[in-house]
Structure 1
Amino acid sequence: MKVLLLVFALVASVSAQTEPFCRCAAFVTYKNSEVMVYEAPKVIIDSCQDDAEQCKEACVTELNTLSNNGDLWLLQESGVTVGQTICSRLADHFVFWISNHRVYGYYEVCGGPWEYTEFASQQLLCCEGGKHEHCIVRR
């Protein structure tokens, strides 16, 4: 009986891993790298081959809903701005200063490459000592 339960659990875990899925995240882009600052819960899609557009649309909807179409100054229910949430996430990874960067949305289908959703923050992101600040753009 224990062996049967073990086999059933193994089959269930393998089949769960092969279910088509979509990942959605927001990144800050640097010259030679990307830093993930938010990841949405995975979305189940119908097919890894045919549903890239479904994944992209779900991702854009998620990011737009969370940020009121990319507004880094949106005050969330927690009383913290979207930008402060991002600055705090960066500070958790020892990035305390960031100046004049957009936040971009990307999606990934079934473990494939990250692809740009055409979502970008309305404002530039600036963090000073882990605090969200207004950016001063020097020309």
Structure 2
Amino acid sequence: MKVLLALLALVAAASAQTEPWCRCAAFITHDHSEVMVFEAPEVTIDSCVDDAKQCRTSCARELNTLSDNGNLWLMQDSGITIGQDICTYLSDRFVFFVHTKTVYGYFEVCGGAWEYSGVASQQKLCCNGGKHEHCVTE
């Protein structure tokens, strides 16, 4: 029993010594859920306790840079729009239809709760059978 407790303490101590990190991602909101539609590379921060603002600022900058300030119709070097990338990502997960959803940027500090970064798409996202389309509202 003492060996097991010592082993658990060693694992806890090792996991507590990890580098601070920050995740950045984009989500769409449904009535009862948030769905991640894009995740940017992790951002290194100085502290898990004190650097939520650093994480938020870094994520907002990264998401705005990648999307030209939330432009879903931005044509990437690959020849595919940001919106089509998102629609493809969703269709790969069996979500083929999305109608008039804003894409929001969020950040997460060291495994904590996701928080809104202040970034939102300029246009609404509409996917029809996995294809990015202009949203038509009636």
Provide the TM-score with structure 1 as the length reference. Answer: 0.87
User: CA 1:17–1:67 in 2, change beyond 3 Å: closer, same or farther?
Assistant: farther
CA distance in 2, matches of 1:132, 1:16: 43
Structure 2 counterpart of 1:70, which letter? G
Percent identity over the alignment is 66
Q: CA deviation at 1:78?
A: 0.2
CA distance in 1, matches of 2:59, 2:15: 24
Q: Where does residue 105 of structure 1 map in the other structure?
A: 105
Q: CA deviation at 1:97?
A: 0.3
Provide the TM-score with structure 2 as the length reference. Answer: 0.88
Q: Where does residue 64 of structure 1 map in the other structure?
A: 64
CA distance in 2, matches of 1:37, 1:101: 11
CA distance in 1, matches of 2:136, 2:59: 30
CA distance in 2, matches of 1:87, 1:26: 13
- Any stretches of 5+ residues in structure 1 without a counterpart? 1-9
CA distance in 2, matches of 1:93, 1:107: 22
Superposed CA RMSD in Å reads 1.6
Alignment of 1:80 onto 2:73: no
**1:1-139 residue pairs with structure 2 within 5 A?**
14=14, 18-138=18-138
- Any stretches of 5+ residues in structure 2 without a counterpart? 1-9
User: CA 1:40–1:16 in 2, change beyond 3 Å: closer, same or farther?
Assistant: farther
Q: CA deviation at 1:118?
A: 1.1
CA distance in 2, matches of 1:41, 1:17: 21
Q: Which runs of 4+ in 1 moved over 2 A?
A: 14-17
Q: CA deviation at 1:16?
A: 9.1
Structure 2 counterpart of 1:19, which letter? E
Q: CA deviation at 1:17?
A: 6.2
CA distance in 1, matches of 2:72, 2:39: 16
